A and B are shown apart, each in its own frame.
Chain A
């Protein structure tokens, strides 16, 4: 029997995903919204790893978590470059001040 109940991993993952979703919904700075997306990706990784420990021969969950990490790195690089150009253009990174189309 494993020392830590795997349901606890799933519950921690669910809590972290909810916190990340709240950060994405609530925060106004573009970089903090990106941090919320990173939190959600980490929560998904916890779930994948928690199920993957029962599959030691193929480790499909851990492989998927590895690819998720690489995609997250690529995503955050491109998103930060875009935020940087948005900041250069509008002189702000607050998402609710970017209402050029609305006016």
Chain B
């Protein structure tokens, strides 16, 4: 039963990733990314990381993906004439469409083959031990307030600064403010 769930979630995340790779439509890619993130959250549950699965759902699906979809909507070209005028061939030779496919398939495929052979040959002593399933919420809360209290505070300040900076950068007033200050 758990095996079936594992293979289902793995297939969900991998097929979502492949769909992001193969689709031409940006908004479809965002929704396939949602599929991948849900599959990864399921994999987290199966690897006894229940808190991380919920955090994945809240941060990625609830935050990052909404942000991405807003970005897609704000940068989408609705004018088809503007798209048609941009069909001139690319002058960077290595970035032509077929050549780009070949190069990226070569790089990513060889990376995957190398990682796969490495993982198939490697014998991790850690992975042969038994691992029990238990809830990790208690341990994560304790660790955040004891061993990881300094990184926790630093990452909070970093997130605040990044979000304030992103708000300023994205606002249409930013340009006129810069021009006025000059």
Interface of A toward B, CB cutoff 8 Å: 1-12, 14-23, 25-26, 29-32, 34-36, 38-39, 42, 45-46, 49-54, 56-59, 62-63, 65-67, 69-78, 80-85, 87-88, 91-94, 96-97, 99
Q: Considering the complex, which residues of chain B in the window 133-170 have a beta carbon less than 8 Å from any beta carbon of chain A?
A: 133-134, 136, 139-140, 143-144, 147-148, 151, 155, 158-159, 162-163, 165-167, 169-170
Q: Considering the complex, which residues of chain B in the window 61-86 have a beta carbon less than 8 Å from any beta carbon of chain A?
A: 63-64, 67-68, 70-72, 74-75, 77, 82, 86
Q: In the complex, what residues of B have CB within 8 A of residue A15's CB?
A: 14, 17, 112
Consensus secondary structure, chain B interface = helix
- Determine if A32 and B20 form an interchain contact, defined as CB atoms under 8 angstroms apart: yes
Q: In the complex, what residues of B have CB within 8 A of residue A53's CB?
A: 47-49, 131
- Determine if A67 and B29 form an interchain contact, defined as CB atoms under 8 angstroms apart: no
- Determine if A18 and B71 form an interchain contact, defined as CB atoms under 8 angstroms apart: no
Contact residue among B103, B115, B172 (Cβ-Cβ distance under 8 Å from A25)? B103
Number of interface residues of B (CB under 8 A): 89
For B167, the closest partner residue in chain A by CB is A81
Q: In the complex, what residues of A have CB within 8 A of residue B155's CB?
A: 67, 70-71
**Top 4 nearest A-B pairs by Cβ distance?**
A74-B162, A25-B104, A22-B108, A18-B112
- Determine if A62 and B10 form an interchain contact, defined as CB atoms under 8 angstroms apart: no
Interface of B toward A, CB cutoff 8 Å: 2-3, 6, 10, 13-14, 17-18, 20-21, 26, 29-30, 33, 36-37, 40, 43-44, 46-49, 51-52, 55-56, 59-60, 63-64, 67-68, 70-72, 74-75, 77, 82, 86, 90-92, 95, 100-101, 103-105, 107-109, 111-112, 115-116, 119-120, 124, 126-127, 129-134, 136, 139-140, 143-144, 147-148, 151, 155, 158-159, 162-163, 165-167, 169-170, 172, 174-175
Contact residue among A4, A23, A45, A52 (Cβ-Cβ distance under 8 Å from B20)? A23
A88 to B16 Cα, complex, angstroms: 30
Q: How far is the CB of B109 from chain A (nearest CB, A)?
A: 7
Q: How far is the CB of A68 from chain B (nearest CB, A)?
A: 10
For B110, the closest partner residue in chain A by CB is A18
- Determine if B132 and A63 form an interchain contact, defined as CB atoms under 8 angstroms apart: no
- Determine if A63 and B143 form an interchain contact, defined as CB atoms under 8 angstroms apart: yes
Q: How far is the CB of B86 from chain A (nearest CB, A)?
A: 7
